[in-house]
Chains A and B, each alone.
Chain A
Amino acid sequence: MTKKNAVIKMRDLEVGFGNQTVLDHLDLDVREGEILGVVGGSGAGKSVLLRTIIGLVPKRHGSIEVLGVDLAKVNEAERRTLERRWGVLFQQGALFSSLTVRQNVQFPMRENLEISQQLMDEMAMAKLEMVGLTPQDANKFPSELSGGMTKRAALARALALDPEIVFLDEPTSGLDPISAGDFDELIRTLQQTLEITVFMVTHDLESLYTACDRIAVLADGKVVADGPIANMLESEHPWVKTYFQGKRGGMLADRQMNA
């Protein structure tokens, strides 16, 4: 594997709440153009890690560099420019409930770009069609969407400004296996056509097999294993072993080997 530039670089990162430490001197790189899957038990700090990178949770110690910019050293304006270069898909979608799907996708465009309403409409429809929604869905309100459609609409909004990095927080949670599979494939295709880097927090083993280039396992506040799926199957760490070779993981691993 060719070593590409790291677009996100975390060094010695420590995050905690009160007297509880969630991330304990963690080092992790996300390389350009890859889909990194972050896994870990419930409460291992996967979502906290994601929220720390995008700046929603303060860190106690360490450094985070995104797209070559140290997040601790930026001023407000630089930070906003940087935030325009990434998109976030929240676990519950976090669509604005008082706006239609189309307006949700247009929201970042309207705030950040000076383009005509016509182009904005066309781009919103283009993004929606790219994530597999129909023009009829565009005028619906978030409360009228199914779980899968909400995730797709939220992904379209995350992609609105053609970001370089997309953060996905459990993109397939709450979806049926077929929709989840479709969603994995969608992420894969979009990543290839748009050449984006994807940082994905997930629980879904299937996603790890089908969508991710590289996997990082979080346990005890640290990255205990990282690498492609083959490395995971060889890992000796007890949690990694149980996760990938346990009842559910083992089945997928066998299928992968036989295929």
Chain B
Amino acid sequence: MGEVLLTHKLEGERLELAAGGSWTATHAGELEALVERVADEAPEAKDVSINMAGVREFDTFGAWLLERLTRQWTKSGREAVVVGLPEHDLGLIEEMRGVNLEAAPKPVRQNPLVNAFAAFGRAGVDFGHDLVIFAGMLGAVSVSLGRVVLHPRDYRLTSTVHQFDRVAWQAVPIILLITFLIDAIISQQGIFHFRRFGAELYSVDLVAILVLREIGVLIVAIMVAGRSGSSYTAELGAMKMREEIDALRTMGFDPTEVLILPRILVLVVALPVLTFLGSLAALYGGGLVAWLYGGISPDIYIARLSDAISLTHFKVGMIKAPFMGLVIGVVACAAGLRVKGSAESLGLQTTNSVVQSIFLVIVLDGLFAIFFASIGM
């Protein structure tokens, strides 16, 4: 390896360049600077001869820069001669003569302000599209559910059991842990603040009602959206990318029936189960903190609990759960099917799936709150 050389000498009206060193990719940066400097040199010179005899190494980068140099001279009607090039490099030069003849189309650049507005508008339109897709997916799932009810033998039981294992059974430990901890914290905060009024005992009401009506089901839904919703989207998206879904369709299977219906049904069943287990763990956590931190003995806690809560509170939480499972499943599967060829789009749709399903779960929870309040539950 040696450095690059390009020396120039003016002979009358002829500029004589002598090249040397390595005209290779490694030195392309210096080489480019040299070539550009020489182009401005000697504007009075009529023609140029470039002697390449001193060049030790030569590759496409060198060849292209040489070609660029000669093009610059010939473009202004002057003559450029290359001499002293080894025989075996002529092919490379010949190859370079043919490239970059037409200007490469520049990537279109738009006004950033217009782009910002366009992005805003597009986000609005996309939101509308998402709603339509959501409704479409809900419809498709209902249709295949109807078909399965008519022909129960077609239902994919194995797939359902497998998904149930992944979505519900394997989620049990983490759900128990999270709900336990969250309710322990709520209980501690409740006791801490109620103590000022000497009303520690009411923290039990706080914990119990909150868990059964809202927190239990919400925490579980958010956990499941992050845990299983994202994996549904990624799975279906990868299957879409590898044309597995197209393959199913051409074999006469309905992807909604084979892939999506079992997944969504599993979520609809799994969410109430997990909510039930999560609420148990939450009440346990709350009670433990009440005992250790608040000095409320387990007997009193349980007695207080049975006073504070009724079956209605429990029902309110459990009724919401399957609907939340449905929303998570539909959003996740719809996002999975929207994945296009690239890895980037897979990531984008997985993010979308989790963000949208958590958002919709909370919106749904709000709607249920209004509904239950108006029917007096």
Chain A residues near B (Cβ < 8 Å): 97-98, 100, 102, 109, 112-116, 119, 121-123, 125-127, 129-130, 135-136, 138-139, 141-143, 159, 161-162, 192-195
Contact = CB atoms under 8 A, between A and B. Distances in A.
Given A115-B29, A135-B102, A126 B68 contact: no
B64 A123 contact: yes
B341 interface: yes
Q: Which of A112, A119, A139 has the most CB of B within 10 A?
A: A119
Interface residues of B, number: 31
Contacts of A142: 341-342
Given A114-B29, A115-B29, A122 B68 contact: yes
A60 to B, nearest CB: 32
Interface stretch (B91-99, B166-174, B281-289, B314-322): B91-99
Given A139-B107, A162-B61, 17 more contacts: A97-B343, A97-B344, A102-B104, A113-B25, A113-B26, A115-B29, A119-B61, A119-B65, A121-B104, A122-B64, A123-B28, A135-B102, A136-B105, A141-B342, A143-B342, A192-B91, A195-B88
Interface of B: 24-26, 28-29, 32, 59-61, 64-65, 68, 88, 91-92, 94-96, 98-100, 102-105, 107, 340-344
Contact of A130 (B24, B99, B104, B343): B99
Interface of A is mostly: helix
A123 B342 contact: no
Nearest to A160: B25
6 contacts: A115-B28, A119-B61, A122-B64, A126-B64, A127-B60, A195-B88
Contacts of A161: 25
B99 A129 contact: yes
B342 A98 contact: yes
A135 B95 contact: no
A82 to B, nearest CB: 13
Contact of B59 (A100, A136, A138, A162): A162
Contacts of A109: 25
